Structure 1
């Protein structure tokens, strides 16, 4: 028996979150590869805005990759899932860089889980200023399983829980845009104490 997207058996949501350089994409790829070994049908998605390492794959900072569907928005994910299910029933939906999607992602993830899918979402929990990075905090609240990863602070080597944005070597201003594509900026993983923001 199948629902709108697929099986109506109980599904669930796994949320992988943390700062940049904490291994979120690596963990997503690890789970995807295990599902594929188990001969499950998997679709991986990533937003078109994220073309740092590859235009066609989810890629980690150290070059590990998995093939992905590139979409502009949540509607693109919906459409590709429907298209795929016309040929073969899907088991797992994985979404990388979830923070770059609108809050419509919350509704889609809930629908897919209720329709029997295993959903894996990876994304930043906070922005460069340490604020909740929508829609990830709400997904954290709704997910069955939450994995919060830490990086290592580049300043003091303590667990890093913040993403530092530097522009020309200086901390970004709190009034800067949350999402900046193609700018002259650098990111670092830092702990709470070493994280800096221009007020």
Structure 2
């Protein structure tokens, strides 16, 4: 169904995706872009999935403890209700949202809003994660960040799970995951 776009003040919106493995600086980059938008006196709104309570129930917090106030939401459609006339919308941990997040981001962009999402592009098994592949397909701008492999120092593109938990979604930090390059990832527990 086509929804007639409302172009806010003649502005055109777009979608930016920041992706990569864990510990690559995705949330840090999201926060940096949102802070710059605020410096430009743009109204920002930040959302995160309610499931992610690792550092804080309300705030988006990077691994280096940079913080920005956010609204946790249970379902992607809630973002449309809470967007509150924003110029820029930030969404962290986008891989944890339902598949409707793609159409939500597209609708926001059609409405003249700059949408910046950050999330894992691959899960612990190296497979595409949640709605991120579809977001990459519709994005206007893509930034892929890399961590450093904790075993060899090369660029890391995969989040290696150190535990035997089998579910795709296991919320954790360095106690559960570590960044690895392809070679060290394939070696598994033998590195």
Superposition TM-score, scaled by structure 1 size:
0.86
Secondary structure of the corresponding residue to residue 143 of structure 2: strand
Specify the alignment match of 2:100 in structure 1: 104
CA–CA distance in structure 2, aligned partners of residues 73 and 195 of structure 1: 33
CA–CA distance in structure 1, aligned partners of residues 65 and 138 of structure 2: 31
Match of 1:195 among 167, 185, 189: 185
Structure 1 stretches of at least 4 aligned residues deviating more than 4 Å after TM superposition: 3-6
Specify the alignment match of 1:15 in structure 2: 17
| Structure 1: segments with no counterpart, 5+ residues | none
Q: RMSD value over aligned CA atoms? A: 2.0
- Aligned-residue offset at 1:148: 0.1
- Aligned-residue offset at 1:111: 0.9
Q: Structure 1 residues 26, 5: closer, same or farther in 2, change over 3 A?
A: farther
| Structure 2: segments with no counterpart, 5+ residues | none
Q: Structure 1 residues 130, 102: closer, same or farther in 2, change over 3 A?
A: same
Superposition TM-score, scaled by structure 2 size:
0.89
Contact 1:5 1:112 in 2 (8 A): no
The one-character-per-residue Cα deviations of 1:25-67 (angstroms, maximum 9, x if unpaired) are: 0000000000000000000001111111111111011110000
The one-character-per-residue Cα deviations of 1:76-99 (angstroms, maximum 9, x if unpaired) are: 212212xx2xxxx31001000000
Contact 2:77 2:104 in 1 (8 A): no
Q: Structure 1 residues 5, 59: closer, same or farther in 2, change over 3 A?
A: farther
Contact 2:102 2:131 in 1 (8 A): yes
